[in-house]
Amino acid sequence: MLSDKTVVITGGARGIGREIALKMADAGANIALVDVCRREEMEETRMQAAALGSQALAYQCAVEDEAQVIAVTKEIASAFGRVDILVNNAGITKDNLLLRMSAEDFSRVLDVNLQGAFHFIRHLVRQIMRSPAGRIINISSVVGLRGNFGQVNYAASKAGLIGLTKSVAREFAGKSVTCNAIAPGFIETAMTSTLPEQALENLRASIPLGRPGRADEVAALALFLASPEAAYITGEVIRIDGGMAM
């Protein structure tokens, strides 16, 4: 399905990003993993992708640092010779009530979650435009659609990704580049496993399907949006949330 395509995935070493990397590697893509985590974690995911037959390389990069992004995107273009698909998945949380949230924590989350996506789109889109099937996929959240108690920074960043997605979709549609956003709900990852049990129960109770989602389910949606079957879909925000935000 993605044979000979090159996919760049930010936040690709863990959680949802890792599942997207493995799903796309299994579909025949070559994988450039970008993350800020420890080399050991990145190498584990890289080796799993390579075991699926992918040319897989890993790059450490703080996505909010434009100088690092410029250097890494040049390395990726040189190593792979092309970039067809970009998945902006890197993200952080620094939750607190608005009255207790520092300006630093507000800005930090927007810098990583929103500005990081802008940097990677800006510095890879010329490569993506050269592809006959250019794709940009931004991982937003249902929180960006409906807000959430104690997450004004995270909600603002994810809502911003939706506006970014729609604007990029309009700007590059004439170059046959699609840009879509995925809005996951409550997905089981290492990040959510640290929540208190009562908070987990409350979250489950808010989901009509009665269970959290899995990272591989989000990855399957990302694979579809990267595939030839999704060539006529652009500017969309697709929820994958068990009905949480309907």
CB 41 within 8 A of CB 12: no
Residue 154 appears among annotated catalytic residues: yes
Taking the whole predicted model, whether its pTM rises above 0.75 is answered as yes
How do residues 199-237 score in pLDDT, each as one tens digit?
778 888 889 999 999 999 999 999 999 999 999 999 999
How do residues 29-88 score in pLDDT, each as one tens digit?
999 999 998 889 999 999 999 999 999 999 999 999 999 999 999 999 999 999 999 999
Structural domains for the chain: 6-237 (3.40.50.720)
pLDDT computed for residue 146 by the predictor? 95
Which H or E run contains 94? none
In sequence order, what are the beta bridge partners of 188? Answer: 214
pLDDT computed for residue 110 by the predictor? 98
* pLDDT tops 80 at residue 147: yes
| All residues at 6 or more sequence positions from 226 whose CB lies less than 8 Å from its CB, including other chains | 2, 5, 7, 24, 29, 85, 87, 135, 137
pLDDT computed for residue 221 by the predictor? 98
How do residues 100-141 score in pLDDT, each as one tens digit?
999 999 999 999 999 999 999 999 999 999 999 999 999 999
Using 50, 70 and 90 to split pLDDT, how confident is the model at 246? confident
Catalytic residue among 80, 154, 172, 186: 154
